[in-house]
Amino acid sequence: MSIVDLRNGLDRDELGQELYGLIAELYPICRSITGEGLRQTLRTIQQYVPLAIHEVPSGTQVFDWTVPREWNIRDASIKNAAGERVVDFQRSNLHVVNYSVPVRRRCSLAELREHLYSLPDHPDWIPYRTSYYHEAWGFCLTHNQLLALKEEEYEVWIDSSLEDGHLTYGELYLPGEQEDEVLISCHACHPSMCNDNLSGVALAALLARHLVSMPLTYSYRFLFIPGTIGSITWLSLNEAQTSRILHGLVLSCLGDPGSMTYKRSRRGTADIDRAAAHVLAHSGMDHQVLDFVPFGYDERQYCSPGFNLPVGCLMRTPHGRYPQYHTSADNLDLIQPDSLADSFLTCLSILSILEDNKTYLSQNPKCEPQLGKRGLYRTMGGIADADRFERAMLWLLNLADGDHTLLDIAERSGLSFDALRTAANVLCQHELLDGRPKPARPMAQN
Amino acid sequence: MSIVDLRNGLDRDELGQELYGLIAELYPICRSITGEGLRQTLRTIQQYVPLAIHEVPSGTQVFDWTVPREWNIRDASIKNAAGERVVDFQRSNLHVVNYSVPVRRRCSLAELREHLYSLPDHPDWIPYRTSYYHEAWGFCLTHNQLLALKEEEYEVWIDSSLEDGHLTYGELYLPGEQEDEVLISCHACHPSMCNDNLSGVALAALLARHLVSMPLTYSYRFLFIPGTIGSITWLSLNEAQTSRILHGLVLSCLGDPGSMTYKRSRRGTADIDRAAAHVLAHSGMDHQVLDFVPFGYDERQYCSPGFNLPVGCLMRTPHGRYPQYHTSADNLDLIQPDSLADSFLTCLSILSILEDNKTYLSQNPKCEPQLGKRGLYRTMGGIADADRFERAMLWLLNLADGDHTLLDIAERSGLSFDALRTAANVLCQHELLDGRPKPARPMAQN
Amino acid sequence: MSIVDLRNGLDRDELGQELYGLIAELYPICRSITGEGLRQTLRTIQQYVPLAIHEVPSGTQVFDWTVPREWNIRDASIKNAAGERVVDFQRSNLHVVNYSVPVRRRCSLAELREHLYSLPDHPDWIPYRTSYYHEAWGFCLTHNQLLALKEEEYEVWIDSSLEDGHLTYGELYLPGEQEDEVLISCHACHPSMCNDNLSGVALAALLARHLVSMPLTYSYRFLFIPGTIGSITWLSLNEAQTSRILHGLVLSCLGDPGSMTYKRSRRGTADIDRAAAHVLAHSGMDHQVLDFVPFGYDERQYCSPGFNLPVGCLMRTPHGRYPQYHTSADNLDLIQPDSLADSFLTCLSILSILEDNKTYLSQNPKCEPQLGKRGLYRTMGGIADADRFERAMLWLLNLADGDHTLLDIAERSGLSFDALRTAANVLCQHELLDGRPKPARPMAQN
């Protein structure tokens, strides 16, 4: 079975439910860029695939960065004068600024306010804030909660720890025929948020589970990492192997009801960029393809000038473009099983192009071969137009000169990669085409 | 006299009538990809030009194809029970499926129907159908004829023969100053159809008649061939000489009242592609320029990857895009003398660009030469705009650096090739420019 | 102080008044391509900058041209039968066709008319006409003046001289760090016209006055020359040095209220072309960027194929596109101090890009450097969008691979050169970037 067979065989409803279910399971965990929440998330994924869990000690130098101390949290609250928990970590782990240092103290409302974050435009949502690299503490709360606070004395309590420990990440390597790799990367460092974070985690996990038992042309590497510091750490520890990465995708924000978005790699015309653009263009759905910008997710690091890897980012609505982004409203109501399934199938379509993007050589390059005597062409002449299958065969035979990959032919002909792959297989069976893997290491482009 | 002089000197009405007259003469003949109808057509053209007629034996292997047996037909009919010829080859040679094997038999209407072809959407038109490479017999008739057939016994009779013989094609080679060739190809294998087939044949024949007595820069090769198998046969028998073909045009569908269409060669930016696009863009008429696709006419074979010749296709309404295509309605009413003349003049304009597309070298490359002292520029200064002739001279002098052909200059300046050629001639007379033939063999492009 | 500092520090109102004042001072002078009017103009500019005044003898061969005889005029008139000066040079120096040979004679109205030029569409304006290279005499007058002439005898009198003398031009060379030059050229040969001619002269003069005391990366060469023959003369006398010209601007028509126009050099993608297009695109104002055409001002000569210098032309409304062009209505009412100031600042912005268009090299090319620990990034995470300064830093760090100039980065990112320069300076201070001058001699392009 190949990736295209997998894609064609999946039940979309079942797939959506499965992805949604995994997200629901991971949703309550309070993740951060280090700590137990992240470990627990990776252990959950280990139920699906044999993920290796790596622990990198605090203080490790990774390029210009240092692996931070490990942060863990057990509980937190703001109590009013009556002793009521008016802000309660147990109700939402977003209530605490992520990486808050421990605190226990009484303070006035004025003093407290300097540590409070809310969203006046969305008075029922809790914002998500972090302070990884600057020691601080704070609480996030709904704006309505903030407005309800009276002038009285409060007791703030954050039962956290920030101590030497480890940065944790998960890695799964699936060897294929070739050593050249496809990198699939997702960040798993956000607390209870579904679209940003868990949708990518769930897609990567279930994708890995499917691929683990399949014959693959490329080798695949899945990374479940904390954002930014995780990709920097992995790149620092695996620098020598990065040249094997021929194609890569960062997965994020893949469950919302918006249309698909692909953000190109820094190279702009890498195979992954062209494959993703092709799939979206032939999806029959609204979509957008964006040029690379050096902000966003971990593609920032993969595409830094010292690496310049061909890694793009697959999303639905891009980060920051939907109002629920980085708030408590990025919850199980925002994401849709059908959107998740559509994202998953889109991802498979892209990977199937990478896997099957061969270069074909016509065995009859001089004039067309006679398709009719092989039963590949209508016998009755005079009809105005060739049908789609005939057109696919004619395009293949015309461009199978050893210089054009299947994706090149798809782009030039306007036909779908799928239609051309089917026709190519038939022509190979009739020994009219000889398909060879695309030369593995295209020259680096800038 | 040059091609541009020829074009400028022709009487458009007379030209249209002459083209129309030749088509009318050829119209009644029942042509096929082999046989007497094709021979008779070529003999008619021999009245205009000294065409060489080649005969290639049935069974000759031409690349992946085999020259088929020769087909000839004398008569055919369907008689009803009363002995009336309800379908009669004598009334239209389209009534018989081209390449039908001989048959004489009685059959029921039900049995007969399996061999009948009609066009329900155009109930008064007879379709054109062929079965060259699959032994079969059949009749084409109007849908109204079909509906009028009663349940009775019919006698079908096709007095044809399908026997070893020859494939016939016509060839005319006109040597020019250079061995490099311009190929003009048309198919001459359709029975009574005017736009598809005879318009191209008539244009090529009269074009050849004009060029035969002219001094030419390039050598010209005219091919009058059966579609597909004819070009495959010619390419197979003349493979070594194909590298001389620097430019080529397939001519077809040039008499209908639609606007001009040029279909690019597989290379897409060959000189012929740019020259044709330039002529159409400056025609002041509606037109379209289409990218290459590997379906259509004999450009499919010339542009197969093993040859990849710079051969485009000049048409008015493309094949299959007008309702009369491949029906009895593609008759003498569909084509217009003025359309034929316009197509002919367009073709001459294209060829004149190829002939005159020189590279010029300014003899005063440093600053502009003083045109005024040579009487080439108005003497009174201060007027806002140079006129068209002055602008043409200034563009030429600015780009005559040895790197730009006249067509390059036309494309960059937006001026017409004609205006630039006129100005170039004047500047050459004043020894301000030195014109040299374009280097003959541009690097092959893909 | 750098050019960008100069630009940012100038008072726009004061600048506009100063430019307008210089134009008003030069306006009354009757200039031509040779003679005292041109000399007087250059001497006026010497009050601002130490301009070298060159005198080239009549008869000097300069490429295909010959330096003409020197023309001077003292007075001219047409008197009617009553002895009244119905056309009077003292009222407008446009009344005499520039370079008119001396004449004193009586003639009828019919004879006189052959020497009269007016503008029927603008009956109150006097046209500007010249006859430099064809001996002639004539008068320009308003159409209303022409209509008022009665059938009587007239006395025409032109007290001019056309004798061996000199062609005069002004040149100022400001040495910079590099020998590579920026050329600023303007024509100073038109009599009383403000937009065409004096606006460029005033801009160049005041620009030179500012640059004369500044440290400069490039060397700057200012030319104040008669149109066409002046640039041809300079190029002919300085041919060996022209290869030092890396960037150039012809200045003209910079005072009218229209929007800015930049006309590209013949190369089309030279740095000057990209810098000018960038400045106009980021100006927030209407503007247009035109492709090179070989008519216009002295860029015709600088961009002739034997030189092909990267010289564009900066204008507001292009010559010939405003009705007052080459008439007496191109006067002190047409030009606006604010337009002059805007043109001046635009010019400075373009030059500042040329000066600062360095190539940067990231000192941390592998992954992003940690900006936060250097106080260059907000400490609170989770906010949707990086601000403009952060984005500028991230783009710089991502593209500072030694292959991209600051202008390349501006074009790719869509950010302004100014924003990127500011960010680059900060990153250099933090030793995150190393800025090096752009390699000085880019390969010549065609």
What are B175-221's pLDDT values in tens digits? 999 999 999 999 999 999 999 989 999 999 999 999 999 999 999 99
Say what the pLDDT of residue B44 is.
98
Predicted confidence (pLDDT) per residue in A199-233, tens digit: 999 999 999 999 999 999 999 999 999 999 999 99
Helices (H), B10-116: 12-26, 36-46, 109-113
Residues of C whose CB is below 8 A from A131 = 379-381
Q: Where are the beta strands (DSSP E) in C265-397?
A: 287-290, 311-315, 359-362
CA distance A381 to A137: 79
Q: Quick one: closest CA in C to B413, which residue?
A: C293
> C-alpha distances in angstroms, C353 versus A244, C187, C345, C412?
40, 25, 12, 16
Chain C residues touching residue A98 (CB < 8 angstroms): 381-382
Spatial distance between the Cα atoms of B129 and C283, rounded to a whole number of angstroms: 65
Q: Using pLDDT thresholds of 50, 70 and 90, give the confidence band for residue A193.
A: very high
- The 3-state DSSP class for residue A154 equals strand
Query: Residues C435-444: pLDDT tens digits?
Result: 877 765 554 4
Structure tokens given for B92? 């239209």
Chain A residues with CB within 8 Å of chain B CB? 362, 364-370, 372-373, 379-386, 390-391, 394-395, 397-401, 403, 413
Q: pLDDT class for A320, splitting at 50, 70, 90?
A: confident
Categorize the per-residue pLDDT at C20 as very low, low, confident or very high, splitting at 50, 70 and 90.
Answer: very high
Confidence at residue A381, expressed as pLDDT on a 0 to 100 scale: 81
What residues in B contact C320, CB-CB < 8 Å? 384-385
Nearest to B317 by CA among B199, B224, B222, B229: B199
Q: Which residues of C touch B403 (CB under 8 A)?
A: 446
Cα–Cα distance between C140 and C95 in angstroms, integer? Answer: 5
Residue A161 has pLDDT above 70, yes or no: yes
Token pair of A114 as six digits: 């300097």
Q: What is the mean pLDDT of residues C115-142?
A: 97
Distance CA B219, CA B171 (A): 13
Residues A262-272 have a mean pLDDT of 98
Rounded-to-10 torsion of CA B230, B233, B239, B243: 10
Q: What is the DSSP letter of A177?
A: S
Does the pLDDT value for residue B289 go beyond 80? Answer: yes
Are B34 and B167 in contact, with CB atoms under 8 Å apart? Answer: yes
**C236/C233 Cα distance (integer angstroms):** 5
Residues of C with CB under 8 A from a CB of B: 62-65, 98, 127-134, 136, 228, 231-232, 235-236, 239, 266, 293-295, 300-301, 303-308, 319-320, 325-326, 446
Identify the residue among C363, C366, C388, C433 best suited for mutation to test binding to A, counting A beta carbons within 10 A and taking the highest.
Answer: C366
**Looking at residues B357-375, what average pLDDT do you find?**
96
Q: What share of chain C is helix, strand, coil (3-state, %, to 5)?
A: 35, 25, 45
| pLDDT exceeds cutoff 70 at B421 | yes
Percentage above 70 pLDDT, chain C: 97
CA–CA dist C129, C127 (Å, integer): 6
Please tell me the distance from the alpha carbon of residue C159 to that of residue C161, in angstroms, as a whole number.
7
DSSP assignment, residue A404?
E
Closest alpha carbon to C33 in C215, C171, C185, C231: C231
CB neighbourhood size of A280 (10 A): 22
Which pLDDT tens digit goes with each residue over B381-405?
A: 877 666 889 999 999 999 999 999 9
More confident residue, B445 or B409: B409
Residues of chain A neighbouring C414 (CB-CB closer than 8 A): none
Residue A378: pLDDT over 90: no
Å from B369 to nearest chain C CA?
Answer: 5
Q: How many CB atoms lie within 10 A of CB C74?
A: 12
CA dist B415 and B387 (Å) reads 12
Please tell me the predicted confidence (pLDDT) of residue C443: 45
Determine, for residues C446 and B369 on separate chains, whether the beta-carbon distance falls below 8 Å.
Answer: no
The confidence score (pLDDT) of residue A72 equals 98
Q: How many CB pairs under 8 A join A and B?
A: 93
Distance CA A423, CA A392 (A): 6
Backbone angles phi, psi at A382, to 5 degrees: 105, -10
**What confidence category does residue B98 fall into, taking pLDDT thresholds of 50, 70 and 90?**
very high
Looking at chain A, which subunits does it touch, using at least 3 CB pairs closer than 8 Å as the criterion? B, C
Q: How confident is the model at residue A248 (pLDDT cuts 50, 70, 90)?
A: very high
Asked if residue A110 has pLDDT above 80, the reply is: yes
Q: Which residue from A360, A399, A394 is spatially nearest to A377, judged by alpha carbons? A: A394
Q: Which amino acid belongs to residue C253?
A: C
Report the pLDDT value the prediction gives residue B380, as an integer from 0 to 100.
Answer: 81
H-assigned helices in C271-374: 271-281, 299-302, 337-356
- Rounded to whole angstroms, the Cα distance separating C180 from C357 reads 14
B381 contacts in C (CB within 8 Å)?
A: 98, 129-132
CA distance C444 to chain B (A): 14
Residue A379 is nearest to which of B134, B239, B303, comparing CB atoms?
Answer: B134
CB neighbours (10 Å) of residue C79?
17
A11's enclosing H/E stretch is none
Contact A7, A327 (CB under 8 A): no
Amino acid of residue B137: W
Q: Which residues of A touch B300 (CB under 8 A)?
A: 368, 394, 398
Query: Tens digits of per-residue pLDDT, C137-193?
Result: 999 999 999 999 999 999 999 999 999 999 999 999 999 999 999 999 999 999 999
Residue found under tokens 């004999």: B298
Contact state of B397 with C307 under an 8 Å Cβ cutoff: no
Give the pLDDT confidence score for residue B435 in this predicted structure: 83
Does position B446 have pLDDT exceeding 60, yes or no? no
Q: Residue C210 pLDDT > 90, yes or no?
A: yes
Given pLDDT bands bounded at 50, 70 and 90, which one contains residue A445?
very low
How many Å apart are CA B369 and CA B380, to the nearest integer? 17
How high is the pLDDT of residue A444? 45
Q: Which two tokens stand for residue B55?
A: 């005969």
Interchain CB distance below 8 Å, B129 and A372: no
Residue matched to tokens 């059949």: B138
Q: Which two tokens stand for residue B67?
A: 């020259």
Per-residue confidence (pLDDT) for residue C383, from 0 to 100: 74
> Residue A305 and residue C368: Cβ atoms within 8 Å?
no
- Do residues C30 and C93 lie in contact, with contact meaning Cβ atoms separated by under 8 Å? yes
